[in-house]
Amino acid sequence: MERTLVLVRHGQSEWNLKNLFTGWRDPDLTEKGVDEARSAGKALVERGMQFDIAYTSKLIRARNTLTLMLEELGQRDLKTLEDEALNERNYGDLAGLNKDDARKTWGEEQVHVWRRSYDTPPPGKHGESLKDTGARVWPYYMCEILPTVMQGKPVIVSAHGNSLRSLVMILDRMTPEAITSLNIPTGVPLVYKLNADTTVASKDIIEY
């Protein structure tokens, strides 16, 4: 478990199920989402994993996913740090809208750009692009998470599709063009082992 970093996107949320843009809105997990979180925890148990510290966003779907995983791991009392830096990207005026309805209003291509491009934010005063999201995720990773990993303490992070995409982008050294096609599925652990120079030694996607 030396220099181990595990990233997990929260299980399916109520708004994932309804096909709504979520962002900083705070719906909870669905029954399927609960199952995904528990399955992720069981998959980590099967790998013999235990953790020294956990990080999560302030949003309930990520926090509850972490709680369920830790229950399966037998680590309910694990030290956990919550921070808005790990929150999902803010979808601005799109938050709460049905994605299919948005496509009918603005067109398939425009909605795809808002969802997947690197530096084009969705409409609205607080809308964040992936680049904007990374601007808060990367410093938190560099200053808080990475030093803990480099101390040899196994770390688990429960967060969101886009906050994790921004993190995977730098871990996997992906270009802004390549990141547009990356999708991180709900409840699937990504296990990174880091070298002594902080680069990635290996990456394992735990399917179950």
Q: Residue 5: which H helix or E strand, with range? A: strand 4-9
Residues whose CB falls within 8 Å of the CB of residue 75, separated by 6 or more in sequence, listed in order? 50, 51
Mark whether 88 is an active-site residue: yes
CA distances for 13 relative to 68, 160, 167, 182, angstroms: 14, 11, 21, 20
Give CA–CA dist 5/107, Å, rounded: 38
Of the residues 10, 36, 128, 160, only one is catalytic, namely 10
Residues whose CB falls within 8 Å of the CB of residue 142, separated by 6 or more in sequence, listed in order? none
Sign for the CA dihedral angle at 58, 132, 3, 65 comes to positive
The secondary structure of residue 192, as a DSSP letter, is: E
Mark whether 10 is an active-site residue: yes
> Which three-class secondary structure state does DSSP give residue 190?
strand
- Surface-to-core class of residue 137, CB atoms within 10 Å of its CB (0-12 exposed, 13-18 middle, 19+ buried): buried
Give CA–CA dist 99/197, Å, rounded: 41
Of the residues 36, 88, 128, 160, only one is catalytic, namely 88
Which residues are marked as active site? 10, 88
